[in-house]
Structure 1
Amino acid sequence: MPQANPEVGSAELVSAEVSDEDFAHIKAAVHEFIRTRVVPREREIADGDAVPEDLRQAAKDIGLFGFAIPQQWGGLGLNLAQDVELALEFGYTSLALRSMFGTNNGIAGQVLVGFGTPEQKQRWLAPIAAGEVVASFALTEPGAGSDPAGLRTRAVEQENGDWVIDGSKCFITNAPLADLFVTFARVRPADDDGPGIAVFLVPAGTPGVRVADHDRKMGQEGSWTADVHFDNVRVPASALVGGQVDLGYRAAMTSLARGRVHIAALAVGTAQRALDESVQYAATATQGGAPIGRFQLVQAMLADMATGVMAGRALVRDAAAQWVSGRDRRIAPSVAKLFCTEMVGEVADKAVQVHGGSGYMRDVPVERIYRDVRLLRLYEGTSEIQRLIIGGGLVRQAERDSGAGTGTTKEDRS
């Protein structure tokens, strides 16, 4: 399997900052919070298209805005293996809750953790971990979705060292609430020196930053996304992440790969909820005087659902362990995301089928789940992109092992 770059994200190559005993208490607190405070209010979140403020504050109070931020900057300091155990819990309820603090811990926050200068970490990570700052990951564009190499947003260096950014982003999670945009922009065409993509820290209040109204989506009500426009936005040299102009592509790829394992775990948690709802319904709903769960075809659907959930849980835990050890940080995350997000789509479909007509009704949890999980196969890289990463990575590894590889690819340079 491909070996990780030991200089990237090396904090997770050492022992976890949180002991198993302490983590058990954290996980138990999150489990209690999800099951007793969030699950009963799922309909309120969906109908209001927002996470209530008291739940947001409660999430801050138990450290959920910074669970994956190292302790030296005020976070809980969970490694990815512990991270996914919480994601299994987050997936059990409305995905809007996790989305609320997901970018702080994941794709946006991890860019700073892994690539920021000491000054950038000192300035931003503590307020991010406390939930005082909401960070958004501004990568996706209308013409550059799953392949960041197609970025059109441009950053031009000025004589005084400032940078001026122009361009537009779309589908940016938490954009309407964001205080900081971790913004990717092209500084030159890709060449032999690198992909020419840099990443900048752009406060939301910077002149020229404009956030559109939040999108109306198929599902995941309460999780806000929006277009973000940068019109002659000027930032100082200190806004360049890592102080290096060619860091952006590698930062994006590393952050996205880590996030894929988290999303895979989230999918498993949601699949578990869909299975639990279906088993309970099958055991209590009757047809012809008998519970429908006694029908063999219903049992077969439940069996397929349970098999997918168990396989996904094992896979995501293995992928997380490989990430933490540094054994594989490229192929395993894509394998986990591909399988688990496709699996939860199948489980959600079967859950609606088990419920019959009731499963199509808006107030039934499996109807919401069916809509919510469709997005999981799109963000953090589509299923098609994951297949390219997996297949291409396996072939390149075989070529390296045999000595047959003679050229480099965009991924090799990253």
Structure 2
Amino acid sequence: MDTDALSQAAVLSAAKDDRPETSSATGMLNFLREYARNFLNSRLLDERRSLPPALVSDFAAAGLLGLQIPRELGGQNLSHTDMNRVFTQLGAIDANLAVFCAVHNTLGIAPILLSAPEDVKGHVLPRLAMGQALTTSAISEPGIGSHLRGMTTRAAKNVDGSYTINGFKKWISLGGDARYVNVFAQLHDESGRPMGITGFLVDSRTPGFGIGPEMLTLGLRAVPQYDLSFTDVRVPSSALLGIEGDGLATAKAAFMGGRVVLAAMSVGAAMRSLELAQRFAEGRAVATGSLAENGRIRERLAEAGAAVQAVKTLISRIATWQDEGREVSDAWFFCAKILGCELGWGAIDTALQVLAARGFLDTNTVGQHFRDYRLFRIFEGSTEAISVFLGTMLVRNPDEFTKLVQQAQPTAQVLKLIDRVAEVGADRPDDDAAQHIHAAVVGELVCWTLLTMVTSEVVDQSPMHAYTASWTEHQMQQRLRTARRSSHRNLPTTTEFADHVAGYAEVIGDVDQRRWPGEEWQADPLLSPR
């Protein structure tokens, strides 16, 4: 990516009058609802594994591709509260559209807004807001998962101040479609001395930038995940995001914001799924009468509704603090990711169960939500990985848990539960495996603590808020009852369990399927260059 390619001053000047008009969040919601009713076919998106050709320009015109870009650069400058409203709406309509906008706005634009040089922002951000280009981040690699410090992609600083990038990235949303990719790599100076993880804004047209195969995923088929490769990709000094060696701070800021957005999308999908389940229950007659009046079905739907309301309250609280300029602890973002995605998908699963056979139809909206939103429990850090990380962090620094509690105003009853969580955290086992389990238990308890605190503060807003507060507190109490024995169970050794699984072959035999030749996926040899 050279500076001339970044600037494109003439193009931007000519396109200035075509920038999206500033739009309120309400205007965007109205646009999305009309778009869903009149122009969207989610089934075709899923089958064709692609977005409609006109979608990028349509969404750009509505302001959806520059949600938090400043208005002077063609964006909408939305608050966090309003952005969550938009993503909740997108989540209710189609996960593909939601993830497309989320990747572009949070993983793509956010690092540029935060860390790119001012002249680069001025050249790139208007293009992104106008839909002339898309953007994403490339962090994950084939072997590192959530362990970012194990990153193997390498950047070398050259004597002229430029940088050369080599390596591979995997599972990159929009990786094959984005013009600008925030690439994070281990930087080494001219002498080969390591300088830490560093971010670079890379133009995908730069020589050496390679796009690998698309992953054939279970859901979210219209927003493909790609492998990317970098072979001597040379970028100018202006491509640097932030300062050398400080790339994790830039990546972390984008991921933290993205985790709340994932929760907002999950809330929207869960609301839509429960809406359909309630409609079905009201119209379905069973042996005991109306399905909606069946006590067990009422309980399942009410609990799912409480879970959604609790997460909605949580992300609203986080967004309010962000809009007020308050510092928000990482634990709140982790909590939004863990419980937002777990409870959101759980509500979708409940809706599918209530719909019975109709829920299992792949043509059903709830069925597609079930496939699409399952990934959210893995996206941007799996529930297990983040729970262990959060629990470990707070076990080692118990004062941080106290600070978290002080950010809200828990009731006396909730404070008693919080004291019990602290006791569980202090009861750390000795062996490594038990410590991992203990950390996961503590991490989950901390999340439920935060959820219980925020729901207890709005208990008087409506009967459903009251039920939600009671349900959330009950969930926390249940987890506290099982917490102590959860981390002290005697696990089979790694070898013992591996031997046990190896014994399955005696029951099920060798059923590995022969991989058929893939010529149909490749260019005809007679049409290939010789």
User: Does TM, normalized by the shorter one, top 0.5?
Assistant: yes
Amino acid at match of 1:287: V
The answer to whether residue 48 in structure 2 is matched with residue 52 in structure 1 is no
The answer to whether residue 226 in structure 2 is matched with residue 222 in structure 1 is no
What is aligned with 2:347?
Answer: 347
Q: Check 1:323–1:188 CA distance in 2 against 1; reply closer, same or farther (3 A cut).
A: farther
Q: Check 1:111–1:119 CA distance in 2 against 1; reply closer, same or farther (3 A cut).
A: same
Which range moves more in the overlay, 388-397 or 294-303?
388-397
Distance in 1 of aligned mates of 2:383 and 2:401: 27
What is aligned with 2:267?
Answer: 268
- For the Cα contact (< 8 Å) 1:66–1:76, is it kept in 2? yes
Which range moves more in the overlay, 213-222 or 45-54?
45-54
The answer to whether residue 264 in structure 2 is matched with residue 256 in structure 1 is no
What is aligned with 2:5?
Answer: none
What is aligned with 1:334?
Answer: 334
What is aligned with 1:379?
Answer: 379
- For the Cα contact (< 8 Å) 1:166–1:232, is it kept in 2? yes
User: What SS is found at the alignment partner of 1:264?
Assistant: helix
What is aligned with 1:73?
Answer: 73
Amino acid at match of 1:378: I
User: What SS is found at the alignment partner of 1:220?
Assistant: coil
How far off is 1:162 after superposition? 1.9
What is aligned with 1:287?
Answer: 286
Amino acid at match of 2:72: Q
Please list the CA deviations of residues 344-392 of structure 1 after superposition, one character each: whole Å capped at 9, or x if unmatched.
Answer: 1211211111111221111011111111111111112221233245334
How far off is 1:59 after superposition? 1.0
- For the Cα contact (< 8 Å) 1:156–1:187, is it kept in 2? yes
Distance in 1 of aligned mates of 2:195 and 2:328: 23
What is aligned with 1:238?
Answer: 238
What is aligned with 1:152?
Answer: 152
User: What SS is found at the alignment partner of 2:219?
Assistant: coil
User: What SS is found at the alignment partner of 2:141?
Assistant: coil
Distance in 1 of aligned mates of 2:399 and 2:238: 41
Distance in 2 of aligned mates of 1:27 and 1:219: 26
5+ residue gaps, structure 2: 1-21, 403-530
Give TM-score, length-normalised by structure 1: 0.85
Which range moves more in the overlay, 295-304 or 258-267?
295-304
Distance in 2 of aligned mates of 1:231 and 1:256: 26
Q: Which has the higher contact order (CA 8 A, sep 6+)?
A: 1
Q: Check 1:97–1:142 CA distance in 2 against 1; reply closer, same or farther (3 A cut).
A: same
Distance in 1 of aligned mates of 2:301 and 2:129: 40
Distance in 1 of aligned mates of 2:56 and 2:235: 30
How far off is 1:34 after superposition? 5.1
- For the Cα contact (< 8 Å) 2:28–2:62, is it kept in 1? no
Distance in 1 of aligned mates of 2:337 and 2:322: 13
How far off is 1:50 after superposition? 1.6
Amino acid at match of 2:301: L
Distance in 1 of aligned mates of 2:315 and 2:237: 39
What is aligned with 2:369?
Answer: 369
Q: Check 1:326–1:355 CA distance in 2 against 1; reply closer, same or farther (3 A cut).
A: same
- For the Cα contact (< 8 Å) 1:120–1:241, is it kept in 2? no
User: What SS is found at the alignment partner of 1:196?
Assistant: strand
The answer to whether residue 16 in structure 2 is matched with residue 33 in structure 1 is no
Distance in 1 of aligned mates of 2:345 and 2:400: 36
Q: Check 1:400–1:293 CA distance in 2 against 1; reply closer, same or farther (3 A cut).
A: closer
Distance in 1 of aligned mates of 2:273 and 2:195: 42
- For the Cα contact (< 8 Å) 1:65–1:102, is it kept in 2? no
What is aligned with 2:106?
Answer: 106
Please list the CA deviations of residues 150-194 of structure 1 after superposition, one character each: whole Å capped at 9, or x if unmatched.
Answer: 1110001122222111111011001121111110000149xxx99
What is aligned with 1:7?
Answer: none
Distance in 2 of aligned mates of 1:256 and 1:33: 30
- Correspondence list, 1:3-42, <5 A: 23=24, 25-33=26-34, 35-37=36-38, 41-42=41-42
How far off is 1:99 after superposition? 2.3
User: What SS is found at the alignment partner of 1:334?
Assistant: helix
Distance in 2 of aligned mates of 1:276 and 1:293: 12
How far off is 1:24 after superposition? 5.3
Which range moves more in the overlay, 384-393 or 374-383?
384-393
Q: Check 1:32–1:118 CA distance in 2 against 1; reply closer, same or farther (3 A cut).
A: same
Distance in 2 of aligned mates of 1:194 and 1:296: 63
Please list the CA deviations of residues 31-69 of structure 1 after superposition, one character each: whole Å capped at 9, or x if unmatched.
Answer: 53354246x522121122222123333211101111121
Distance in 1 of aligned mates of 2:385 and 2:35: 32
How far off is 1:100 after superposition? 2.3
What is aligned with 1:303?
Answer: 302
Larger Rg: 2
How far off is 1:105 after superposition? 1.1
Distance in 2 of aligned mates of 1:59 and 1:400: 41
Amino acid at match of 1:23: S
What is aligned with 2:311?
Answer: 312
User: What SS is found at the alignment partner of 2:201?
Assistant: strand
CA RMSD after TM alignment: 2.4
Which range moves more in the overlay, 270-279 or 141-150?
141-150
Please list the CA deviations of residues 276-306 of structure 1 after superposition, one character each: whole Å capped at 9, or x if unmatched.
Answer: 1111111123334943223222212111111
How far off is 1:143 after superposition? 1.8
Indicate the percent of aligned positions where both proteins have the same amino acid. Answer: 25
Give TM-score, length-normalised by structure 2: 0.67
User: What SS is found at the alignment partner of 1:133?
Assistant: coil
- Correspondence list, 1:166-177, <5 A: 166-177=166-177
Distance in 2 of aligned mates of 1:126 and 1:283: 48
5+ residue gaps, structure 1: 1-20, 403-414
Distance in 2 of aligned mates of 1:71 and 1:26: 16
How far off is 1:401 after superposition? 9.7
Amino acid at match of 1:55: L
Which range moves more in the overlay, 108-117 or 43-52?
43-52
User: What SS is found at the alignment partner of 1:362?
Assistant: coil
- For the Cα contact (< 8 Å) 1:188–1:197, is it kept in 2? no
Distance in 1 of aligned mates of 2:236 and 2:54: 37
Amino acid at match of 1:265: A
User: What SS is found at the alignment partner of 1:317?
Assistant: helix
Please list the CA deviations of residues 222-266 of structure 1 after superposition, one character each: whole Å capped at 9, or x if unmatched.
Answer: 111110011111112221113x21121110111101111111111
- For the Cα contact (< 8 Å) 1:172–1:228, is it kept in 2? yes
- For the Cα contact (< 8 Å) 2:23–2:63, is it kept in 1? no
